[in-house]
Amino acid sequence: MGILIMAGVTFREAVRKKLVWMALAAGAGFLTLFAIGLHYQAKDFAAHGISPVLRREIAYAMVTMGLYAVDLLAVLMTILTSVDTLSGEIASGTIQAVATKPVPRWKILAGKWWGFVAMLTTYIAIMVGGVNAVTYVMAGVTARHLVSGLLLIWMESIVLLSVTFAFGTYFSTLTSGVLALGLHGLAFLGGWIEQFGAITQTQRAISVGVIASVLMPSEALWRRAAFEMQSPLANAMRISPFSTLSVPSPTMVLYAGVYLAVALAIAVRRFSRQDL
């Protein structure tokens, strides 16, 4: 019951503080821009008589590009909205009135976590759905393995959420935010190094990318999502910036799941034992 109450209050807080509405308004702006871009693209293709096969491939690339932007927005949304929930309430003392109620601390943390999961799931589902709806209406295509891609983007967000929670039990809000974003930045950079390493067949560069993914598997999840959602041709021909020779394996996805669970366990353990 405690988990449900805390999840509810966390979700309601995001709604009441207009966080969700602002994010959705920004998302609507993004989708509008995306639709306008696609519209002019389609018009241009028609004028120049581009072949349907190429049109289709470019539409696929546009979906992936749109989802890449959604992925970045989801990463920022995850970290920025959740970073203050533990460290902020501990620092301000807000947590004291809650933590003295007959609810174990792990349930307080789990409730907050589920509240954010619900909010982020809603956000990601709307945004990913929106991008696909726009491309379907305007170009007749959707991402190839939409559900797998959606789940992988969602999982990336939840990995980052759990890591942000773990940092929030040790550090101040600002430090937690810097650390979570920094760690994702490291994974992001590592991912690109791995890509270039694969193109130039530099094993050491690939290793650097793999190590970065072990330290933070968030970017690896996006790359796997991109692989799942792109057209097979784009993956094989490397005609998209998201094509990859070094596709994160299902083992890496499994590792990300374990990573998420460990981050959450660390957060619970620390929160249950810390002075409030």
Partner 1 sequence: MNRSFDLAISTRALRKVFSGKVAVRNLTLEVPRGEVFGFLGPNGAGKSTSVKMMLGLVFPTSGEAQILGCPAGDVKTRRRIGFLPEHFRFYDWLTPAELLKLHGRLYGIPHAELRERVSTLLDLVELTPHHDKRLRDFSKGMLQRIGLAQALLNEPDLIFLDEPTSGLDPGGRRLVRDIIRAQRDRGATVLLNSHLLGEVEITCDCVAFIKHGEVVETRKLNGAMEEQTGVSLRAGNLTADVVNGLSQWALSVRQESECLMLSVTSGAVLPEIVRYLVAKGADVYEVTPRKISLEERFLEIVGNDGGL
Q: Applying CB under 8 A, which residues contact partner 1?
A: 1-2, 5, 9, 13, 16-17, 92-94, 96-104, 273, 275-276
With tokens 């490397």, the residue in question is 238
- 67 touches 244 (CB < 8 A): no
- 188 touches 86 (CB < 8 A): no
Judged by beta carbon, residue 204 or residue 275, the one nearer partner 1 is 275
How far is residue 81's CA from residue 33's CA, in Å, rounded to a whole number?
A: 24
Among residues 149, 155, 153, 151, which one has the least CA distance to residue 60? 149
**Shortest separation between residue 175's beta carbon and partner 1, angstroms:** 17
**Shortest separation between residue 273's beta carbon and partner 1, angstroms:** 7
Judged by beta carbon, residue 20 or residue 263, the one nearer partner 1 is 20
Judged by beta carbon, residue 99 or residue 239, the one nearer partner 1 is 99
Judged by beta carbon, residue 92 or residue 207, the one nearer partner 1 is 92
Judged by beta carbon, residue 73 or residue 99, the one nearer partner 1 is 99
Q: What tokens does 62 get?
A: 């546009």
Judged by beta carbon, residue 79 or residue 98, the one nearer partner 1 is 98
**Shortest separation between residue 102's beta carbon and partner 1, angstroms:** 4
How far is residue 83's CA from residue 166's CA, in Å, rounded to a whole number?
A: 10
Q: What tokens does 104 get?
A: 């174990």
Neighbours of 9 (CB within 10 A): 14
**Shortest separation between residue 237's beta carbon and partner 1, angstroms:** 52
**Shortest separation between residue 33's beta carbon and partner 1, angstroms:** 31
Q: What tokens does 186 get?
A: 């490291």
Helices (H), strands (E): how many in the chain?
A: 12, 0
Residue 132 exposed, middle or buried by CB count within 10 Å (0-12, 13-18, 19+) = buried
**Shortest separation between residue 93's beta carbon and partner 1, angstroms:** 4
- 233 touches 239 (CB < 8 A): yes
Q: What tokens does 60 get?
A: 């696929």
**Shortest separation between residue 1's beta carbon and partner 1, angstroms:** 7
Judged by beta carbon, residue 32 or residue 94, the one nearer partner 1 is 94
